[in-house]
Amino acid sequence: MIKKKLTQKITEIAGEHISLTKEEHDYALTNELLSETASISVIESDKLFENAIIERFVKETEELISKESNAFLKTPITHFKEKMNEFMYLETPHFETLSVDAIAFEYDEVFEVYTAMFGLSLQKKYGDAVKAYLNEHFDGKAMNYSVMFSAGDGLWEVNLPLNYIDDFDTNYTIEETYQFLYRFLFSLVASTEN
């Protein structure tokens, strides 16, 4: 998973300057994936979604409301509590290392929680490890998350109520929420390798 994808990423740009997220950099150092001569820069967290695809949609019809610039990421997540008919979609190349294509985000008016939805492209055999990690970091007494394997797509369909994940803050901006999700998913996927 991460080790394989990160090794491939580093190998493909061997001898050139490598830009890694902080999590990728720390992982690569810990797992000795970098050569001593590698030229590395760490991507600042506020630059993580610089080239992301950011779109807002109508929940019921999935009709596109608008394509957004990075400036939209500075909006507080309460935007979605105020506009409950919307959800957003964010896709970035940085998710590839995590085996995730994109993450949708919305406010669930029925359960009154902020929710992230995504497909996690891990083999079915990693299901117990994924659930063990979520159980450790999620308040299952308050609410349940949903993780189901889709054999047709070969991925885990994940629906996470964020309010019940350790250290999530409802005062986050959209950018801070996606940074939180990136760190959380990086840790989750890395944990499945153990």
107-128 pLDDT, tens per residue? 999 999 999 999 999 999 999 9
Q: Using only C-alpha atoms, what is the Rg of the chain?
A: 17
Exposed, middle or buried, 151 (CB in 10 Å: 0-12/13-18/19+)?
exposed
Count CA atoms closer than 13 A to 79's CA, side-chain side: 17
- What are the angstrom distances between the C-alpha of 168 and each of 34, 47, 120? 32, 21, 20
5-20 pLDDT, tens per residue? 888 888 877 667 888 9
* pTM of structure: 0.94
27-82 pLDDT, tens per residue? 999 999 887 777 889 999 889 999 999 999 999 999 999 999 999 999 999 999 99
Distance CA 42, CA 27 (A): 12
